[in-house]
């Protein structure tokens, strides 16, 4: 199933897949989760993906760029009081719609997932017999949760690549082309369920795909840009607010280093400051020359820290 086909199913249940968190907050408001006591936004007038869904889709808006749609939403499903049967019946129902799922279970969970290009659907259950030592106040307050199957979905939204950004991503100039023991950190930690730095990434057309990971400055030196396979990374220099080098002293490992940039998130209504690692070094000193070069280019003072790797 394609992402577009998945979205059509969500449209069929009136799921607001294109609405920003800011818009959803204005429409639904912030409420306390009945189960977790977190602040959540509950999509109260959205339909359900299956009849046995016990609550509306919801998400926690904290730490998300609120001018973008939520990265994922969740709900609970209950066919009965037996966790394993509940999971199997949920799986059977959804496989009837979406096809065969991939098993993703761990030592204390039953889990299955579907991927629809950039979108995804996941179900996960925590059977009581596999979680006897689990300390979860929510499950203590609401024992019915012990048999629930949690449903989570992502609509696969990416900020579209515009013509100007496409030009910026052509002709990337590395800061120090011959640097040793240094790796650019371009990709998203979890491309499907991505949560942080979402506004920096773009899906690239086929002709811009790269087998080599590249991170540097744009040809006109106005942006920090990178390419990793089918994904682009772009951050205007004017939005960079700080450069920090971490020396990670020997502890569990022999020692290493990370280079971070701080930047203003233009996809947040409060223009919050976020931090992202852009290079990692295999040794403590190997990033020093690169860090000086990046800070100079960004027009920022370099801040250097040290901490023990315990």
Q: Which of 13, 206, 5, 207 is nearest to 115 (CA)?
A: 5
Residue 255 has pLDDT above 70, yes or no: yes
| pLDDT digit string, tens, across residues 264-276 | 999 999 999 999 9
Q: How confident is the model at residue 36 (pLDDT cuts 50, 70, 90)?
A: confident
Rounded Cα distance, 297 and 40, in Å = 40
Tokens describing residue 63: 């730490």
pLDDT at 181 (0 to 100)? 87
Distances, alpha carbon 62 to alpha carbons 39, 56, 93, 146, 166, in Å: 8, 19, 32, 26, 31
Residue with tokens 């990709």: 187
Residue 196 has pLDDT above 80, yes or no: no
Burial 294-308 (b: 16+ CB within 10 A, else e): bbebbebebeeeeee
pLDDT at 189 (0 to 100)? 64
Residue 221 has pLDDT above 80, yes or no: yes
pLDDT at 212 (0 to 100)? 86
Rounded Cα distance, 275 and 210, in Å = 25
Q: Is 214 exposed, middle or buried (CB count within 10 Å of its CB: 0-12, 13-18, 19+)?
A: middle
Alpha helices in the chain (DSSP H): 3-12, 21-28, 83-98, 137-141, 163-168, 288-298
| pLDDT digit string, tens, across residues 258-303 | 999 999 999 999 999 999 999 999 999 999 999 999 999 999 999 9
41 close to 25: Cβ distance less than 8 angstroms: yes
Mean pLDDT over 75-94 rounds to 96
Q: What is the DSSP letter of 207?
A: G
290: Cα separation from own chain's centroid:
27
Q: Which domains occur in the chain, in start order?
A: 3-154 (no CATH), 163-308 (2.30.29)
Average pLDDT, the chain: 92
Residues in a beta bridge with 305: 246
pLDDT at 175 (0 to 100)? 85
What number of other Cβ atoms are within 10 A of residue 63's Cβ? 10
User: pTM of the prediction?
Assistant: 0.88
252, 197, 159, 44: CA torsion to nearest 10 = 110
């Amino acid at each position: 199933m394609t992402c577009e086909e998945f979205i059509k199913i969500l449209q069929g249940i009136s799921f607001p897949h294109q609405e920003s968190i800011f818009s959803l907050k204005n429409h639904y408001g912030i409420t306390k989760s009945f189960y977790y006591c977190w602040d959540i936004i509950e999509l109260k007038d959205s339909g359900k993906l299956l009849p046995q869904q016990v609550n509306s889709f919801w998400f926690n808006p904290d730490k998300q760029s609120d001018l973008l749609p939520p990265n994922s939403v969740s709900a609970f499903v209950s066919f009965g009081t037996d966790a394993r049967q509940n999971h199997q019946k949920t799986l059977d129902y959804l496989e009837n719609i979406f096809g065969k799922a991939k098993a993703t279970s761990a030592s204390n969970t039953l889990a299955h997932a579907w991927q629809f290009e950039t979108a995804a659907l996941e179900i996960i259950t925590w059977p009581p017999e596999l979680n006897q030592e689990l300390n979860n106040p929510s499950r203590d307050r609401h024992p019915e949760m012990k048999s629930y199957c949690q449903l989570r979905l992502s609509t696969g939204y990416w900020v579209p690549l515009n013509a100007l950004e496409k030009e910026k991503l052509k002709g990337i100039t590395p800061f120090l082309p011959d640097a040793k023991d240094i790796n650019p950190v371009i990709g998203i930690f979890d491309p499907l369920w991505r949560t942080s730095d979402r506004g920096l990434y773009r899906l690239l057309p086929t002709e811009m795909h790269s087998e080599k990971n590249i991170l540097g400055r744009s040809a006109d030196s106005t942006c920090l840009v990178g390419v990793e396979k089918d994904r682009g990374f772009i951050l205007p220099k004017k939005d960079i607010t700080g450069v920090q080098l971490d020396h990670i002293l020997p502890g569990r490992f022999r020692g290493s280093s990370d280079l971070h940039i701080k930047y203003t998130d233009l996809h947040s209504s409060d223009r919050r400051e976020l931090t992202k690692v852009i290079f990692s070094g295999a040794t403590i000193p190997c990033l020093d020359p690169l860090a000086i070069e990046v800070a100079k280019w960004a027009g920022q003072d370099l801040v250097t820290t040290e901490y023990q790797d315990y």
